[in-house]
Amino acid sequence: MPDTFKLDLTHRPRRLRRTPSLRRMVEETVLRPADFIAPLFVVDGRPAPDEIKSMPGVFRFNITDLVRECRALRRLGVPAVALFPKLDPRLKDEEGTQALNEDALVLRAVRAVKKAVPELTVLTDVALDPYTSHGHDGVLTAAGDDVENDRTVGLLAKMAVLQARAGVDLVAPSDMMDGRVGAIRQALDAAGFTGTGIMAYSAKFNSAYYGPFRDAVGSAQAAGTRLLSKATYQLNPANRREAIAEALLDEAEGADILMVKPAGLYLDIIRDVREATRKPVAAYQISGEYAQICAAARLGWLDLARCRHESLLAIKRAGADMILTYFAKDMAAALR
């Protein structure tokens, strides 16, 4: 005997989920290639791209191959890249002096990319960890037990001016020193680079998920461990209000874009920052987030294509206007 039970419902939300075209019509959050910024790693002189073992599908490029990768990204509609250098360990020292070398690797990379793909937006990291023998983001105190804030900021301001002179569109201080955004803005303006923007790593947390990135730039090797603690300058993962305070300080000091890092574990912070500011908000889907999705997919436990899409959709839905992600190239290709 057939079941004739029928609900007397006026509202049936499933009506708008019935067909693919209906679902597309009411879709609230849509990913586009233009949403992505591709982080890229550059090295000196390697004959071919060098895959990073802890980040499958991510490579260190020499400058020639970097330019080729940037052209490919631009053709796919990705509007921006963020460049990170991996130095020869012999060039590193306690003070990170190579960061102020006017012919530093990252500056040569910037000049090459801007010459070859001038329409591509180029970001550069402003921090000392790729350059220091201890792996910290700044110079250490005399006791060697902490990063010296103000002296580090002075170096970062000089570093930002060199990057602006090389042609970057946005400098991106990732160090989490107090007052660095204001000092960098002042230094850029004084040097005539009023048009160079600042994407501030405003709420960068002391996360356990940075290990693969530290392998990629060699800061883990320099420090002798990927477990290096940066708790005296990066944010406590437990603190939500402090993250908003940091973001608003960066805005007041002249940041053009505010960033939350990591992204996937801090969707609440992305939403809080989005509601606290009128500035554009960036989020960085970091190396550990990327690596765990890839690892689970390789084991057959997750669907890679669906998981990368869902993870990025969640970040945009939370309020990010742009996303730094190692999935940028593959996602842009899939979306096109």
Active site residues: 204, 261
CA distance 312 to 326: 11
In this structure, are residues 262 and 284 in contact, taking their beta carbons and an 8 Å threshold? Answer: yes
Q: Which of 226, 227, 222, 228 is nearest to 214 (CA)?
A: 226
How many alpha carbons fall within 13 Å on the CB side of residue 331? 25
In this structure, are residues 261 and 286 in contact, taking their beta carbons and an 8 Å threshold? Answer: yes
Residues 6+ apart with CB under 8 A from 75: none
Tokens for 22, please give them. 């209906």
Q: Is 178 helix (H, G, I), strand (E, B) or coil?
A: coil
CA distance 217 to 210: 11
How many CB atoms lie under 10 A from the CB of residue 59? 18
Q: How many residues does the structure list for the chain?
A: 336
CA distance 206 to 45: 33
- Is residue 309 exposed (0-12), middle (13-18) or buried (19+ Cβ within 10 Å)? middle
CA distance 217 to 99: 14
